[in-house]
A and B are shown apart, each in its own frame.
Chain A
Amino acid sequence: MAEPLDDYIDAVSKALALPVEEAWRPAVRANLEVSLRLGRLVDEFALPDDTEPAPIFTA
């Protein structure tokens, strides 16, 4: 049975021309789940609209 992230992995794999062999898929999916879980933790934190990112470009 396909896992919820499989369609997303297939789509990004095509968009970036990045190969994901079937044997690698469970590990890629598991790593992506961790990254997205930690990303959500960051996303949930409310920041003012005018917050600058840490690296600021200097012309």
Chain B
Amino acid sequence: MTTKPEMTASEIANAVARGKMSALDATEAALARIKQRDTLLNSFTDVTADRARAKARAIDADIAAGKTVGPLAGVPFAVKNLFDVAGLPTRAGSKINRDLAPSQRDATLIERLEAAGAVLVGALNMGEYAYDFTGENVHDGPSRNPHDITRMAGGSSGGSGSAVGGALVPIALGSDTNGSIRVPSSFCGIFGLKPTYGRLSRARSFPFVASLDHLGPFARSVTDLALAYDAMQGPDADDAACTTTRGLEPTTPLLANPVSDLRIAIAGGHFQKNLFPEAVEAVSRIAKALGATRVVDVPEASRARAAAYVITTTEGASLHLDRLRKRPNDFDPAVRDRLIAGAMVPAPLVDRAQKFRRWYRAQLAEIFKSVDVLIAPATPCTAPKLGQVNFNLDGVEFPVRANIGIHTQPISFIGLPVVAVPVPLEPLPIGVQIIAAPWREDIALRVAHALEKMGVVAAPSPKGF
């Protein structure tokens, strides 16, 4: 049996577990797709073919021996290259980190996916040090959009978006500090989950902004997203932010539960401004499908975005201060100049941003007493052209690079769980955020699953392959 390019993770795992397909065949098919298509997409920076084949053979041996295999048996996956992969330096999209010693051990989330039977096939391109919304990278070249290779994949997890959107692998992992899972999901037309802050371990991944960093999965179906997420849950003493109070909360068994009992509202104010018509259309389709008519203003969301920006630029600068001193010419100049400026922001502004964050968190907690789900755009527009510098939002010219995430930043700022769902508009898809209260990933995934069943959201097949 050969794999179709768009075979989902759950289809592969079922076929492998039932002996209809070998894990090695699934792995070889993914490696062949990468070889064939990635010359155009540029989503992979490392292909771990030997490791993948060895892992796949081990799964096939377990099946032959009658052993029980995990829910992701034989499913190929790849990770943004800020995840530690044993034997590779964790480059985090940079030139500088290539000089690091190879990692001794995989990131926790890789270990957990492999424990569930998944097969790591490589590491993925990303914006330098994750300070990016475009997916462009001066060292490795840009990740390209699978629906139009002249356009951005989105960032900073650009390779993750491109690889899943291009159907090279059914599952990828990325990170999201201000929108870096949700933006590539939107531009590449796939599903992405940014879990609650602290839900998934970040151990052995390269950081950016400790108080805002999240890790999460990308997939071409909600079931795959939930399968990957469920396999990665659990406490981890190696990440100080990882929850010790929440037990495992599997979402896959709950996906098909009805959503008719949920109170769903449209995020107003900030979230209804600075939008191209396609973003308005996407939110409208989702709201109509869910019967949502209530609009809830999210107070001070623009200020929340500003505070997230301040915390990001200053914490990021602090992280890279010594590299900025010693190797400034080895940075992407655009990243370097933002980080240097970040180092110059007066400390009281950062403290006030963190205090405002607590105030804002309380406002959203109040909203979630009467609402289960908020709907908001994921990006202001569909994927811009590679290299595009400015775009026009509500009559004002803004730099693209810093402003693609204006609708994602006020949400990750307080760590709310979000599923980005792809609305398959023509000629390009665009995402919508399904936002739930803290720790209620199950609700966001349920709503995404219902929308998928209705046919309102779907990962379109990549064009031109």
- Please state if B355 and A39 are interface contacts (CB–CB under 8 Å): no
- Please state if A18 and B355 are interface contacts (CB–CB under 8 Å): no
Chain A residues whose CB sits within 8 angstroms of the CB of B357 once the complex forms: 53-54
- Please state if B354 and A53 are interface contacts (CB–CB under 8 Å): yes
Determine if B349 is an interface residue (Cβ-Cβ < 8 Å): yes
Chain B residues whose CB sits within 8 angstroms of the CB of A29 once the complex forms: 341
Question: Which chain B residues in 330-384 approach chain A with CB under 8 Å?
Answer: 333-334, 336-338, 340-346, 348-349, 351-359, 361
Chain B residues whose CB sits within 8 angstroms of the CB of A54 once the complex forms: 211, 354-355, 357-358, 361, 414
Chain B residues whose CB sits within 8 angstroms of the CB of A13 once the complex forms: 344
Determine if B438 is an interface residue (Cβ-Cβ < 8 Å): no
Chain A residues whose CB sits within 8 angstroms of the CB of B300 once the complex forms: 45
Can you list 24 pairs linking A and B with CB atoms under 8 Å apart? Answer: A12-B343, A16-B343, A18-B340, A18-B343, A19-B325, A28-B344, A29-B341, A32-B345, A35-B310, A35-B342, A35-B344, A35-B345, A36-B349, A39-B306, A41-B302, A42-B303, A42-B356, A45-B359, A47-B359, A52-B358, A53-B355, A54-B354, A54-B355, A54-B414
- Please state if B361 and A43 are interface contacts (CB–CB under 8 Å): no
Chain A residues whose CB sits within 8 angstroms of the CB of B423 once the complex forms: none
Please name the residue on chain A nearest to B336 by beta carbon.
Answer: A24
In the assembled complex, the Cα of A42 lies from the Cα of B313 at a distance in Å of 14
Chain B residues whose CB sits within 8 angstroms of the CB of A32 once the complex forms: 341, 344-345
Determine if B124 is an interface residue (Cβ-Cβ < 8 Å): no
Question: Which chain A residues in 4-59 approach chain B with CB under 8 Å?
Answer: 8-9, 12-13, 16-21, 24, 27-29, 31-32, 34-36, 38-39, 41-43, 45, 47, 51-55
- Please state if A12 and B344 are interface contacts (CB–CB under 8 Å): yes
Known: A32-B341, A39-B345. A18 touches B321 (CB 8 A): yes
- Please state if B356 and A39 are interface contacts (CB–CB under 8 Å): no
| A interface secondary structure, majority | helix
Q: Which of A34, A38, A42 has the most CB of B within 10 A?
A: A42
In the assembled complex, the Cα of A51 lies from the Cα of B309 at a distance in Å of 20
B399 CB to nearest A CB, Å:
9
Chain A residues whose CB sits within 8 angstroms of the CB of B342 once the complex forms: 31, 35
| B interface secondary structure, majority | helix
- Please state if B303 and A41 are interface contacts (CB–CB under 8 Å): yes
With beta carbons under 8 angstroms apart, the residue of B338, B341, B352, B414 that contacts A43 is B352
- Please state if A35 and B325 are interface contacts (CB–CB under 8 Å): no
Please name the residue on chain B nearest to A49 by beta carbon.
Answer: B355
- Please state if A53 and B336 are interface contacts (CB–CB under 8 Å): no
Please name the residue on chain A nearest to B339 by beta carbon.
Answer: A31
In the assembled complex, the Cα of A27 lies from the Cα of B340 at a distance in Å of 10
With beta carbons under 8 angstroms apart, the residue of B306, B334, B343, B414 that contacts A38 is B306
With beta carbons under 8 angstroms apart, the residue of B341, B358, B402, B414 that contacts A53 is B358
- Please state if B337 and A39 are interface contacts (CB–CB under 8 Å): no
Q: Which of A13, A18, A47 has the most CB of B within 10 A?
A: A18
Determine if B324 is an interface residue (Cβ-Cβ < 8 Å): yes
- Please state if A8 and B340 are interface contacts (CB–CB under 8 Å): no
- Please state if B310 and A39 are interface contacts (CB–CB under 8 Å): yes
Q: Which of B321, B344, B345 has the most CB of A within 10 A?
A: B344
A19 CB to nearest B CB, Å:
6
B338 CB to nearest A CB, Å:
5
- Please state if B341 and A31 are interface contacts (CB–CB under 8 Å): yes
Residue interface mask B411-442, A partner, CB < 8 A = 1:
00010000000000000000000000000000
- Please state if B345 and A45 are interface contacts (CB–CB under 8 Å): no
Q: Which of A41, A43, A52, A54 has the most CB of B within 10 A?
A: A54
Determine if B203 is an interface residue (Cβ-Cβ < 8 Å): no
In the assembled complex, the Cα of A44 lies from the Cα of B334 at a distance in Å of 29
Chain A residues whose CB sits within 8 angstroms of the CB of B325 once the complex forms: 17-19
Please name the residue on chain B nearest to A21 by beta carbon.
Answer: B328
B311 CB to nearest A CB, Å:
9
A-B interface, 10 closest residue pairs, ranked by CB to CB distance from nearest: A31-B341, A53-B354, A39-B349, A54-B357, A38-B306, A27-B337, A32-B341, A41-B306, A51-B355, A12-B344
Given contact pairs A35-B310, A42-B356, a sample of 10 additional A-B residue pairs in the complex whose CB atoms are under 8 Å apart:
A13-B344, A18-B324, A18-B325, A18-B343, A19-B324, A24-B337, A41-B302, A41-B303, A47-B359, A54-B354
B369 CB to nearest A CB, Å:
20
